[in-house]
Structure 1
Amino acid sequence: MSEDHKQMRIDAGLVRELAELLSANELSEIEVEDGDRKIKVKRELTVAAAPVQHVVAAPAAAAPAGSAPQADAASAAAPELSGDMVRSPMVGTCYLAAEPGAANFVSVGDTVKQGDTLLIVEAMKVMNPIVAPRGGRITQLLVANAQPVEFDQPLAVIE
Structure 2
Amino acid sequence: MDLKDIQNLIKFVAKSGASEVKLETDDVKITIKTGGDDKGETTTYVQQIPVGTPVAQAPVAPQTVASTQAAPAEAEANSKYITIKSPIIGTLYRKPSPDKPLFVEVGQTIAEGDVLCIIEAMKLFNEIESEVSGKVVKILVDDASPVEFDQPLFLVDPS
Q: TM-score under structure 2 normalisation? A: 0.53
Code of the residue aligned with 1:130 in structure 2: it is I
Alignment of 1:153 with 2:131, yes or no, is: no
- Structure 1 unaligned blocks of 5 or more: 1-67
Q: Distance in 1 between matches of 2:67 and 2:117?
A: 31
Aligned match of 2:108 = 110
Quick one: structure 1 residues 69 and 90, their matched pair in 2 at CA, closer, same or farther if it must change by over 3 Å? closer
Tell me how far 1:77 sits from its aligned partner: 4.9
Structure 1 residues 128 and 72: CA distance shift in structure 2, 3 A: same
1:76 is displaced (CA, Å) by 3.2
Return closer, same or farther for 1:75/1:124 CA change in 2, 3 Å cut-off.
same
What secondary structure sits across from 1:137 in the alignment?
A: strand
Q: Percent identity between the aligned chains? A: 39
Whole-angstrom CA distance in 1 between matches of 2:121 and 2:110: 25
Q: CA, structure 1 residues 76+134, in 2 after alignment: closer, same or farther (shift >3 Å)?
A: same
Alignment of 1:2-151 (within 5 A): 72-77=66-71, 79-80=74-75, 81-82=78-79, 83-151=81-149
- After superposition, the C-alpha distances for 1:85-136 in whole angstroms (9 at most, x for unaligned) are 1100110000000001211000000000000000011101111111111110
Partner of 2:16: none
Root mean square deviation of aligned Cα: 2.0
- Return the index of the structure with the highest Cα Rg: 1
Closer/same/farther in 2, CA of residues 74 and 117 from structure 1, 3 Å limit = same
Whole-Å separation in 1 of the counterparts to 2:134 and 2:126: 21
Q: Deviations over 1:26-75 (max 9, x none)?
A: xxxxxxxxxxxxxxxxxxxxxxxxxxxxxxxxxxxxxxxxxx98764314
Higher strand proportion: 2
Equivalent position of 1:25 in the other structure: none
Q: CA deviation at 1:145?
A: 0.4
Q: Which has the higher contact order (CA 8 A, sep 6+)?
A: 1
Residue 76 of structure 1: SS of its match in structure 2?
Answer: helix
